[in-house]
């Protein structure tokens, strides 16, 4: 647990969602385009990217299991705080960004532990360094759950 990282995440993430008009969010969720964007986001962020990073990790680091595991863990992670910052800098739609960030944050809290178990233990079948699913899930819950609350 790092108090500095937690504080930095809160400082970085808090101001941007404050600009969203939250009463429009429920109206936006009913649109077909939003559902298609959420489906595409799920496909890219939770299926394609982790598989691609696992493949790249094995292709470039076959003899370095510690580094390979780190690359796989980074490939599973979504940098949600920077999505808010980049959307704000690009003058993007804050309501759509708030929906995507909220959905991806919840998915990351739910899926990061099981995906890390799948890609590190089941798919890679590495021996040596063990990364427990519950250790990973607790960290994700702490660092994503606190700012979302």
pLDDT tens, position by position, for the chain (149 residues)? 577 876 776 776 666 666 666 666 666 666 777 888 889 989 998 999 999 999 999 999 999 988 998 899 889 988 777 788 888 899 988 878 878 888 888 888 888 888 888 888 877 776 566 667 777 777 777 766 666 66
**Element housing 40 (H / E):** helix 32-42
Contact between residue 140 and residue 112 where contact means Cβ atoms under 8 Å apart: yes
Instruction: Give the C-alpha separation, 101 to 81, whole Å.
Output: 8
Give me the residue label for tokens 């649109």: 31
What is d(CA 68, CA 106) in angstroms, rounded to the nearest whole number?
Answer: 26
**What pTM value is reported for the model?**
0.71
């Amino acid at each position: 647990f790092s108090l500095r990282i937690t504080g930095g995440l809160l400082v970085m993430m808090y101001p941007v969602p404050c600009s969203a008009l939250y009463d429009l969010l429920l109206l936006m969720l009913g649109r077909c385009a939003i559902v298609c964007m959420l489906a595409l986001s799920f496909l890219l962020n939770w299926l394609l990217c982790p598989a691609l990073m696992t493949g790249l990790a094995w292709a470039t680091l076959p003899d370095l299991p510690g580094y390979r595991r780190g690359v796989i863990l980074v490939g599973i992670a979504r940098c949600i705080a920077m999505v808010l910052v980049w959307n704000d800098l690009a003058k993007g739609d804050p309501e759509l960004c708030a929906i995507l960030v909220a959905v991806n944050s919840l998915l990351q809290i739910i899926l990061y532990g099981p995906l890390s178990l799948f890609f590190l233990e089941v798919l890679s079948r590495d021996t040596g360094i063990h990364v427990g699913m519950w250790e990973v899930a607790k960290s994700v819950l702490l660092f994503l759950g606190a700012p979302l609350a």
